[in-house]
Chains A and B, each alone.
Chain A
Amino acid sequence: ETGVTQSPTHLIKTRGQQVTLRCSSQSGHNTVSWYQQALGQGPQFIFQYYREEENGRGNFPPRFSGLQFPNYSSELNVNALELDDSALYLCASALPGGDTQYFGPGTRLTVL
């Protein structure tokens, strides 16, 4: 069984640019969530997708947006990057009706 995968592993962008991060959920999982984890802190919930619709959003501005595709893979898009967007971005997936989320390895984004 393949776990959650994310790409790319690392990314360096400059302030004002746009970025797209990708996630493939674990087999059979139809719910995908994205989290931002700053250095030395716990992950913060960005949003969740279920059946291709946004199903809950944390305290993040609209320049953070996402998509979920029919195969349950997902993208996180961030526009107008700011220095504070530098973080580890984590994707997590869950089974239909399941409570437990399984995390991918993350994408380390550095904004210069």
Chain B
Amino acid sequence: EDQVTQSPEALRLQEGESSSLNCSYTVSGLRGLFWYRQDPGKGPEFLFTLYSAGEEKEKERLKATLTKKESFLHITAPKPEDSATYLCASSKLDAGNKLTFGGGTRVLVKP
């Protein structure tokens, strides 16, 4: 069964303290690996799509990387406005756009 697992469940950072979030996936026939940001009570906001091992994408203080078994979301010098839940999801070949999500990592950045 396809599975996506995120760790840690929660992360408390001081402003400026860089860290990484982990997303482990067990998917036969990976089509894409997605990262979303979700603020409380709102819908997920798209961040990145990664397709192949070795691929990296960046946006402001965020960088996502992909290996054959894991993806990492690196947060460099975070600010309080980076506080959110970060969701990782996978899609499969021959399965349309269906996304399988992990449980998310709640990030709190304190000033």
Contacts and interface: CB of A to CB of B under 8 A. Distances in A.
Interface residues on B, range: 20 to 34
Interface stretch (B13-21, B53-61, B92-100): B92-100
Contacts of B100: 45
A33 B98 CA distance: 8
Name, among B32, B41, B45, B97, the residue most crowded by chain A CB atoms within 10 Å (CB to CB).
Answer: B97
Contacts, number: 71
Interface string B86-111: 01010100011111111110000000
Given A56-B96, A56-B98, A102 B42 contact: no
Interface of A: 4, 6, 31, 33, 35, 40-45, 48, 50, 55-56, 58, 88, 90, 92, 94, 98-106, 108
Interface of B: 4, 6, 31-32, 34, 36, 41-46, 49, 87, 89, 91, 95-104
